[in-house]
Amino acid sequence: MHSSDIRPTPRPAGRPLRLVALAVAGLVAILFLGSSLGGIWGELAAGGVTVAPFAALAALAYAGAERRAGRALTVGLLVALAVSYALVGLALVVMAVVDHTALDPQDFPTSFVPGGGATLGLVAGALSLALVGGMLGFVPAVRRALARAQPFDPDSFVHTVALVAVLAFTLVGFAPLLTTGEAPILAAMRAAEAGGTALFDPAAAETLLNADLLGLVWTVPCTFIAVGLGQHRNWREAAARLGLARPTWGQLTLGMLIAAGLVGGVQLLSLGIDAVWGAAGWPRTDGALVERMFGIQELTLGGALAFALAAGVGEELAVRGVLQPRLGLLLSNLFFTALHAFQYQWDSLLVVFLLGTVLGLIRRRTNTTLSIIVHFGYDLLLVLLVLAGW
């Protein structure tokens, strides 16, 4: 019996929407207070900025299943999150097409490289279409068509919100790369370095890593909230829905062995991908830029462990734990791949998609705990190999 097959214990209907609204308001207050205090509290708040809004979205969606006002608040927050993500993508493209040699750090960029304005307009149009495409998930006919191949209920408001969010973020994630042929973060880094500046400060890598690691303090409870903890499920039911189980020594050993096999397999696969991409003349991911983006060369062994833990636990809980059991392996994996599309070219995204497929199959056949171990082990081994000079 799969963990996702366990039926939740019925909860009393009509849970007051005002309690959910108060909880969301409290969440916002905590984030604001942490940011104001700075220091470790600021880093903790920064870790929650990208996670907490989605827990709030899920909580509102569960309330919206029973209350019209909850549905309105949910849709409003969903649209705001999708538009914000699109604006992030647009801002990255702005940084890529700005003439950095003529840029005054005190002024808003007013000078673009030749063709930069046209590129920015095309990306803005693509992002707008991506947002519209994501919102099509609200159309009943679209949902029912997708539900024929995906394990979600097209008549469920909660499932509809999850579908629209995944569609919107997936399409927005791919839009800049599809339009320009370049990953926006890498393009922005290249443009900045050509102008004599650095987009990422290597000295700040440890601070950013601390924020990612502290983000797990938010990610773990927020994923429980996302599957209905307190509104639809108790702790045991929520853990079962996420596919979490107490890890055994056998699982740890198996997970690390699979991770080592994946590292070796990806190295061989990359040789083939490099050959195809080189023969076709397609742009490839600049590994040196990626290393500077993540500050990998500045990592210690502890930093490598933290890097792998933040990615392994956070991404697996969100994608394989929350989304895959409801939206299926393919759609959730496309979302997982699109989350990396701001920072990788198509060659690396192909690797990400294949790795996500393996992790999704592990989740389907076993549980999310094993997929977390494999993801953690893969990232850790890969970073250690880079630090060792391979």
- In terms of Cβ atoms closer than 10 Å to its own Cβ (0-12, 13-18, 19+), residue 195 is middle
Question: What is the residue-wise DSSP string for 351-363?
Answer: HHHHHHHHHHHHH
Query: Could you tell me how far CA 7 lies from the centroid of its own chain?
Result: 28
CA distances in angstroms from 142 to 25, 104, 164, 329, listed in the order given = 33, 48, 11, 19
Domain span holding position 178: 3-387
**Lowest mean pLDDT segment, chosen from 190-194, 203-207, 241-245, 281-285:** 203-207
- Cα angle 140, 144, 147 (rounded to 5 degrees) comes to 135
Domain count, the chain: 1
Q: Per-residue pLDDT for 10 more than 50?
A: no
pLDDT tops 50 at residue 142? yes
Q: How many CB atoms lie within 10 A of CB 357?
A: 15
Q: For the segment 156-196, what is each residue's pLDDT rounded down to a tens digit?
A: 999 999 999 999 999 999 999 999 999 999 999 888 887 77
pLDDT band at 216 (very low <50, low <70, confident <90, very high): confident
Residue 238 has pLDDT above 60, yes or no: yes
Average pLDDT of the residues in 360-388: 94
In percent, the amount of the chain with pLDDT more than 90 equals 54
pLDDT of residue 12: 41
| Contact call for residues 7 and 241 (beta carbons, < 8 A) | no
Reported as a pLDDT band with limits 50, 70 and 90, residue 9 is: very low
One-letter amino acid at 279 equals: A
Spatial CB neighbours of 360, under 8 Å, sequence gap ≥ 6: 320, 324, 329, 332, 333, 371
Burial of 255 (0-12, 13-18, 19+ CB in 10 A): buried
- pLDDT at 122 > cutoff 90: yes
In angstroms, how far is CA 144 from the centroid of its own chain? 26
- pLDDT above 70 for 100: no
In this prediction, residue 22 carries a pLDDT of 61
pLDDT in tens, 277-336: 999 999 999 988 888 888 777 777 877 888 888 889 999 999 999 999 999 999 999 999
State the Cα–Cα distance between residues 268 and 279, nearest whole angstrom.
Answer: 17
**pLDDT for 372 beyond 90:** yes
CA max distance for the chain: 63
CA-based nearest residue to 338, from 223, 146, 226, 178: 178
Chain centroid, CA 97 distance in Å: 25
Structure tokens at 263: 């590292």
